[in-house]
Structure 1
Amino acid sequence: MAQLLTLADAVRTLVRDGDTVALEGFTHLIPVAAGQEIIRQGRRDLTLVRMTPDIVYDQLIGAGCARKLIFSWGGNPGVGSLHRFRDAVEHAWPAPLEIEEHSHAGMANRYVAGASGLPFAVLRGYVGTDLVNQTDTIKPITCPFTGETLTAVPAINPDVTVIHAQRADRKGNVQIWGLLGVQKEAVLAAKRSLVTVEEIVDELEPRPGAITLPSWAVTAVAEVPGGAHPSYAQDYSERDNEYYQAWDAISRDRETFTNWLKENVL
């Protein structure tokens, strides 16, 4: 059964220096509060994984937590670039950042392979792209049945996956609904997992379109209302568009970012 912990205790217990850490969420339910707690606890040398790294990854990179990023798209959604990410790649500030780029389909299939206990996934999604020549973890493979040339990508098995969800019960069963990404697959692929939730309830009521992560698949649950802000949690909060717009100016300048980090996170 999943443990019910505070956010600080969960991060302290589950996230270690040098870990491969996936913080997954798509448009909403992005685990921002958990990412900022990782910053507060001073974790270093992390390999960060996410299909769509956005501003919380910009913050983690700018705070010096990351040594590598495995991803398929990165940006401040609806606004523009991630300037701390860009500064790390172009100028190694505050530390050099290695990048490993995939397609969305490639990343999703890597999580599925990890969740399925398979060593790799096979797909057509890279045929005709230059990613095969740029990324060492994309390899051509010949179908043993048809002779067709496909591409293989290794499974992703994070040391820790962190997601945000709407609610959990006191046994640690988690319920998620709305626009979903690869949260389920990322949790099932991980060695350890943390789910922050809007609320912990005595019993999960049936919800059309919801998925449930059973307690046995989750290591820890932390009740963190508003833990997805500035993204949203469907039926609990709205997206804070002004925050995303303000982040562009904050993140462009190292000193401005550093001051923001001290005042708002540390």
Structure 2
Amino acid sequence: MAQITSLREAVSGLIQDGDTVALEGFTHLIPHAAGHEIVRQGKKDLTLVRMTPDLIYDQLIGMGCARKLIFSWGGNPGVGSLHRFRDAVENGWPHQLEIEEHSHSGMANAYVAGASNLPFALLRGYTGSDLPKVNPNIRFVECPFTGEKLAAIPSVRPDVTVIHAQKADRRGNVLLWGILGVQKEAVLAAKRAIVTVEEIVDALEAPANSCVLPRWAVSAVCHVPGGAYPSYAQGYTERDNRFYKAWDPVARSREGFTAWMERHVLGTEDFDGFRRVLAESQKETA
């Protein structure tokens, strides 16, 4: 059952070194605040999972939190590469990163299989792709009914899934809307789930056919307004495109990245502190 608690307490109590952790969100509702708290607490040896790892994964990898990445497509949306991700893969800095790459459809099906308590996912895909040559976890099986060749991949079952959402009620039920990726499936597939939210209300007042995560599927709800920044939360905040552009030169060098993280993340107590220091640094460079 969900407990309403601070993000610091949730990360400390629910994420352990060596865990498999999924921080999911698609275009918006990306849980940056939670990612920063993982960095502050120095979590390490994590297997990180995400359909489209972007800036927060670049930061987690660059700070040495990750041992392995299970993913489909990684990059700075609309800008280019994730330089800390590339440095880890190509040069082993800050240490070697193991990768397991899938297609988008493969990852989505793997989450669905995990949420369905199945050991693997089946899909029509990967045929003609080079991914099976580099990913031994992509295998092929014959359908017992038609003889058709189908791809099989392991289900994704995180120890912890972390998402950002718009609302939770005081009992811990969560409502999210807008562009949804695999947040629902990722939460249902996980042993534990942390949800940061824009606001906590007395009643969700969810319209029909809304995506509502029941409190029994959530471990912790944390009130973190703006916790998806620089991505957005529909109905609450807008995407900061300038941040995505500004991240590219920051992340290109190890020294620049480390200095930025020390000032903006390690040097701040929480996400509100991060936003204040970021505003100061933006004024300095304006």
* Fold shared by both chains (TM-score > 0.5): yes
Corresponding residue number in structure 2 for 1:191: 191
Q: CA deviation digits over 1:134-165, x for unaligned, max 9?
A: 10111010000011111101111000000000
* d(CA) in 1 for partners of 2:140, 2:52: 25
Corresponding residue number in structure 1 for 2:284: none
Contact 2:30–2:228 under 8 Å retained in 1? yes
Corresponding residue number in structure 2 for 1:258: 258
Unaligned runs of 5+ in 2: 267-286
- 1:209 CA drift (Å): 5.6
* d(CA) in 2 for partners of 1:133, 1:178: 36
Alignment of 1:24-35 (within 5 A): 24-35=24-35
- Which stretches of structure 1, 4 residues or longer, exceed 6 Å deviation after superposition? none
Corresponding residue number in structure 2 for 1:234: 234
Corresponding residue number in structure 1 for 2:19: 19
* d(CA) in 2 for partners of 1:179, 1:118: 26
* d(CA) in 2 for partners of 1:219, 1:100: 28
- 1:125 CA drift (Å): 1.5
- 1:264 CA drift (Å): 0.2
Corresponding residue number in structure 2 for 1:98: 98
* d(CA) in 2 for partners of 1:137, 1:51: 16
Contact 2:175–2:206 under 8 Å retained in 1? no
SS at match of 1:22: strand
Q: CA deviation digits over 1:79-131, x for unaligned, max 9?
A: 00000000000110001100000000000010000000111111012112111
SS at match of 2:163: strand
Corresponding residue number in structure 2 for 1:114: 114
* d(CA) in 1 for partners of 2:34, 2:206: 27
Corresponding residue number in structure 2 for 1:42: 42
Corresponding residue number in structure 1 for 2:177: 177
* d(CA) in 2 for partners of 1:261, 1:208: 42
Corresponding residue number in structure 1 for 2:59: 59
What is the letter of the counterpart of residue 11 of structure 2?
V
Corresponding residue number in structure 1 for 2:147: 147
Tell me if 1:6 matches 2:6: yes
Contact 2:231–2:238 under 8 Å retained in 1? yes
* d(CA) in 1 for partners of 2:5, 2:256: 34
Contact 2:198–2:236 under 8 Å retained in 1? yes
SS at match of 2:228: coil
Tell me if 1:248 matches 2:231: no
TM-score by length of 1: 0.99
Contact 1:11–1:37 under 8 Å retained in 2? yes
Residue identity over aligned pairs, in percent, reads: 71
Unaligned runs of 5+ in 1: none
SS at match of 1:156: coil
* d(CA) in 1 for partners of 2:196, 2:230: 15
* d(CA) in 2 for partners of 1:95, 1:246: 25
Q: CA deviation digits over 1:164-222, x for unaligned, max 9?
A: 00000000000000000000000000000000000000110123663100001111100
1:209 and 1:244, CA in 2 relative to 1: closer, same or farther beyond 3 A?
A: farther
SS at match of 1:265: helix
Contact 1:178–1:210 under 8 Å retained in 2? no
Contact 1:22–1:50 under 8 Å retained in 2? yes
Corresponding residue number in structure 1 for 2:277: none
SS at match of 2:261: helix
* d(CA) in 2 for partners of 1:242, 1:208: 36
Corresponding residue number in structure 2 for 1:220: 220
How many pairs align? 266
* d(CA) in 2 for partners of 1:91, 1:75: 18
* d(CA) in 1 for partners of 2:91, 2:217: 40
